Structure 1
Amino acid sequence: MARRDRRWGMVALVFVAVLTPGGAASAAALPVVINTWAFRTAAETAWRVLESGGSELDAVERGCGQCEIDQCDGSVGYGGSPDERNCMEKIFFGAVAGLRRVKNAIGVARKVIEYTKHTLLVGESASLFAVRMGFPYEDLTTQKSLSLYSEWLNQSCQPNYWKNVVPDSSKSCGPYKRPEKVTYKEEQTSSQRSVHNHDTIGMVVIGVNGTVASGTSTNGAVHKIPGRVGDSPIAGAGSYADSTAGGAAATGDGDVMMRFLPSYQAVEYMRMGTDPTVACQKVISRIKKYAPKFFGAIICANTTGSYGAACNKIPGLTQFHFIVSSPLLSRPTEQAVDCI
């Protein structure tokens, strides 16, 4: 199992809603760019796009794409693990999953919207689509990724995402198979993710007229089982945007968070008039009820330019840092919230 998956890929998502706002936006607080984690260059890039007259979708694509180039925090961009990807405009949705050998994944997702009538392209065919759209094949392997992979093999492939298989996945690299007699063991364990292994940038951009765009770009979970798709390419999970309400983007344990469509739920709370911070907190509390040890956070912004964030408090994650750009700030500013 472990030794056959040495191809390093990347995952990205962009989800956009471009609709006529239901009412006048508060120009005093717009435009706004907010992104997860302390990825300042991504925020600066997105803000420059808006300042130069680019669209909200352009800002999301370029901002998240900056992290794909810079390998923000070492956990986003090439040199990671296998992958996924997504995008949406006017409540149309486009995504790619399992994209290989292409660095600019966020750009490929946008092409799904612009040049196809489909929602999701996967695997090798997604990579072929990228080439047809003008994206070059590139080697995404780095010395760091190879070192991490070798270290993982030397530690008997620990940690990994297998369970209820033989040989014992907690002690061996496999290859694994289903046992003759299956005894399923379901247990609540701490997430394998951490502040240094979150794999994702999420971004929400709101233009001066209240148009909302949001997106994510990520490597996916480190040492994932080949074929795994996380929350990023799932509409309403990794990201969601609606210009009648606002936008949200999530980061963390996608295998847990995608089951609750947190970004969609946060936007629906804001649609009902809930403050963005409270909307984020309600989403985190909802997931925490069923998975108290999950690793995750979410950012929210509404069409007036108000924003907020929330995270689940676990060992190693007691505060969540994010970047905000707006006319009320002299430059992209790092902010933080205490986890709940």
Structure 2
Amino acid sequence: MTSRRQFLKFSALGTAATVLMPQLAHAATVNKPIVVSTWEHGGPANEEAWKILQRDGRALDAVEAGVRVPEADPDVRTVGYGGYPDASGRVTLDACIMDENMNCGSVAFLQDIKHPISVARKVMENSPHVMLVGEGAKRFALEQGFKEENLLTEQSKAEWQAWLKGREVQHINIENHDTIGMLALDANGDLSGACTTSGAAYKMHGRVGDSPIIGAGLYVDNEIGAATATGMGELMMKTVGCHLVVELMRQGASPQQACRQAVMRIAHKLDDYQKFQVGFLALNKAGEYGAYCIQPGFNYAVRDEAGSLLKDGKSLLESQA
């Protein structure tokens, strides 16, 4: 006669097998290496990451190198150097990185350091912590050899000064997207992710969004897949959105289905969800990817052996039109 304990044990094993089945089914047809990233500026970032991936390099190295491209580009106004300042006129940066072994590092409210993603990796590898913030993060960066420099370009400064005259709130929508998130699957079959931003334009001084928060703006589970997010960070933080996307994939959802379900969960909680933008991008262990958002206009870049693509994410409002 089967005891209750044995029954529960066998039930758990059966459930685990069912959950893992979608992953195992794709084992013979894995699309690797591959890198995906949010927004059009993800294209050049992907190309830099691809240089590493095509040489059988590690996904972690690829995502760091990739997102450093927009971090250093003054024309990408929502990431790194040249990013929009906060309400006080200071450029404050957030970033996080996560590898295939669940190691992760993060910095928030970092000032005067051009590459927060590389500081985040140093936090992961050279400190006992996951996150450093503010002056402590800057001090750590300088101790690690990073250079202090002014990140406020003349163009960003002029636009901030013009904004000061009216102080109109800058809503996070398709015109004010705030992140590059990147996910990569390397030739060894390992996943890593990175996320970096200068945050919402003219935000309150001290505001931190989802981008440096593991589970909200980025999450990687090397058994299942990875996810990153863009848009209204507060909403991703309230739902731990990227962790949710990965857990939905664990339950058998495709990356596309998981992103859609996560967006729908957020929209269901908001009476006025049409006012906001939330977008998720996901990549699973089979090299399959998908994205979904609230408002039309969210796009993402893909690079694999077949070449480069810029794709439009499917959206909730578009499906209701």
After TM superposition, what 4+ stretches of structure 1 lie above 6 angstroms from structure 2?
none
Measure, in 1, the Cα distance between the counterparts of 2:201 and 2:28: 41
Cα displacement (A) at 1:27? 5.2
Per the alignment, residue 68 of structure 1 pairs with: 71
Give deviations 1:215-234, integer Å, cap 9, x for gaps. Answer: 11110111111111110111
Pairing 1:92-241 to 2, within 5 Å after superposition? 92-155=103-166, 157-159=167-169, 192-241=171-220
Measure, in 2, the Cα distance between the counterparts of 1:277 and 1:234: 22
Per the alignment, residue 46 of structure 1 pairs with: 49
Q: What do you get for the CA RMSD once the two structures are aligned? A: 1.7
Cα displacement (A) at 1:326? 1.5
Q: 2:253 aligns with which of 274, 287, 297?
A: 274
Cα displacement (A) at 1:85? 2.4
Q: Which amino acid aligns with 2:242?
A: S
Give deviations 1:63-82, integer Å, cap 9, x for gaps. Answer: 11111012464322212232
Measure, in 1, the Cα distance between the counterparts of 2:232 and 2:215: 15
Please say if residues 25 and 210 of structure 1, whose CA atoms lie closer than 8 Å, have aligned partners that are also in contact: no
Per the alignment, residue 339 of structure 1 pairs with: 315
Per the alignment, residue 303 of structure 2 pairs with: 325
Cα displacement (A) at 1:127? 0.6
Aligned residues: 281
Measure, in 1, the Cα distance between the counterparts of 2:284 and 2:33: 11
Per the alignment, residue 296 of structure 1 pairs with: 278
Cα displacement (A) at 1:49? 1.4
Please say if residues 114 and 149 of structure 2, whose CA atoms lie closer than 8 Å, have aligned partners that are also in contact: yes
Distance of aligned partners of 1:231 and 1:28 in 2 relative to their CA distance in 1, 3 Å threshold? closer
SS at match of 1:322: strand
Query: Does structure 1 residue 79 correspond to structure 2 residue 82?
Result: yes
Q: Which amino acid aligns with 2:107?
A: V
Please say if residues 73 and 196 of structure 1, whose CA atoms lie closer than 8 Å, have aligned partners that are also in contact: no
Per the alignment, residue 7 of structure 1 pairs with: none
Please say if residues 174 and 297 of structure 2, whose CA atoms lie closer than 8 Å, have aligned partners that are also in contact: no
TM-score (norm 2): 0.83
Measure, in 1, the Cα distance between the counterparts of 2:94 and 2:39: 20
Runs of at least 5 residues in structure 2 that lack an aligned partner in the other structure: 1-22, 86-91, 317-321
Measure, in 1, the Cα distance between the counterparts of 2:149 and 2:311: 35
Measure, in 2, the Cα distance between the counterparts of 1:212 and 1:265: 17
TM-score (norm 1): 0.79
Q: 1:258 aligns with which of 237, 242, 255?
A: 237
Please say if residues 65 and 106 of structure 1, whose CA atoms lie closer than 8 Å, have aligned partners that are also in contact: yes
Considering fraction of residues, name the structure with more helix.
2
Structure with higher RCO (Cα < 8 A, 6+ apart): 1
Distance of aligned partners of 1:276 and 1:72 in 2 relative to their CA distance in 1, 3 Å threshold? farther
SS at match of 1:30: coil
Measure, in 1, the Cα distance between the counterparts of 2:217 and 2:75: 18
Per the alignment, residue 174 of structure 1 pairs with: none
Distance of aligned partners of 1:302 and 1:193 in 2 relative to their CA distance in 1, 3 Å threshold? same
Q: Which amino acid aligns with 2:180?
A: I
Measure, in 2, the Cα distance between the counterparts of 1:73 and 1:132: 28
Please say if residues 323 and 333 of structure 1, whose CA atoms lie closer than 8 Å, have aligned partners that are also in contact: yes
Measure, in 1, the Cα distance between the counterparts of 2:28 and 2:203: 43
Per the alignment, residue 9 of structure 1 pairs with: none
Runs of at least 5 residues in structure 1 that lack an aligned partner in the other structure: 1-21, 161-191
Measure, in 2, the Cα distance between the counterparts of 1:279 and 1:135: 38
